[in-house]
Amino acid sequence: MNLDWLKTGIGPLKDLLSFLNKEGKTNDILKKQVIRELRNNLNIFHNAFLNEVSADVMIDMLSNEAIKKAMGENFKFKKLKPGSIEPYHIHNDRNKKYIGWDAEKLTDKIDEKIEELKNIKKMNKDSVVKVKNNISLMLSNLYYRMKLLADFIKGPK
């Protein structure tokens, strides 16, 4: 799978992963799990880029279990970061449409996209190789949403 779109975002990713690792050291179990899941999912993209991993493998490895658990326990996603996304959180023009969104709305979209990718794969004999959907674009959108959430959490208080 061609992951050229990831080249532009891979540089600052190491800093974000380090930040998420530190941020994940909290006593709030649900917050810790959601941040760890975000970090792990971003790591999947990073390592998939370095090792030319297929979309099928990436989709299998992406997780939204912590998000689902947090939603089920009525977790307030503003605990990840209160407020809303401002222009200074945006490091990629494609994310400008998310200005004004909060952590809950963005996390919900991330969860929705992971579910959609997993369902497309299941509906097509457990592979996205021959699907009509633009899986590369869908993965790209998911990556940049997750990166935006990490940038938002990291951004100024």
Higher pLDDT, 32 or 84: 84
Tell me how far CA of residue 129 lies from CA of 54, 66, 119, 122, 123, in angstroms: 9, 28, 14, 12, 12
Residue 5 has pLDDT above 60, yes or no: no
Higher pLDDT, 1 or 20: 20
Q: How many Å apart are CA 15 and CA 21, to the nearest integer? A: 10
* Local confidence band at 132 (pLDDT 50, 70, 90 cut-offs): very high
* CB 30, CB 2: distance < 8 Å: no
Residue 13: predicted pLDDT? 65
The helix or strand, by DSSP H or E, that contains position 24, with its residue range, turns out to be: none
Q: pLDDT digits over 89-106, tens only? A: 998 899 999 999 999 999
Task: Collapse the DSSP code of 84 into the 3-class scheme (helix H, G, I; strand E, B; otherwise coil) and give the result.
Answer: strand
Whole-structure pTM value? 0.85
Residue 120: predicted pLDDT? 98
Mean pLDDT of 31-44: 94
Q: pLDDT digits over 42-69, tens only? A: 999 999 988 999 999 999 999 999 999 9
Residue 23 has pLDDT above 70, yes or no: no
- Determine phi and psi for 64, rounding to 5 degrees: -135, 20
Around Cβ 48, how many Cβ atoms within 10 Å? 21
Residue 18: predicted pLDDT? 73
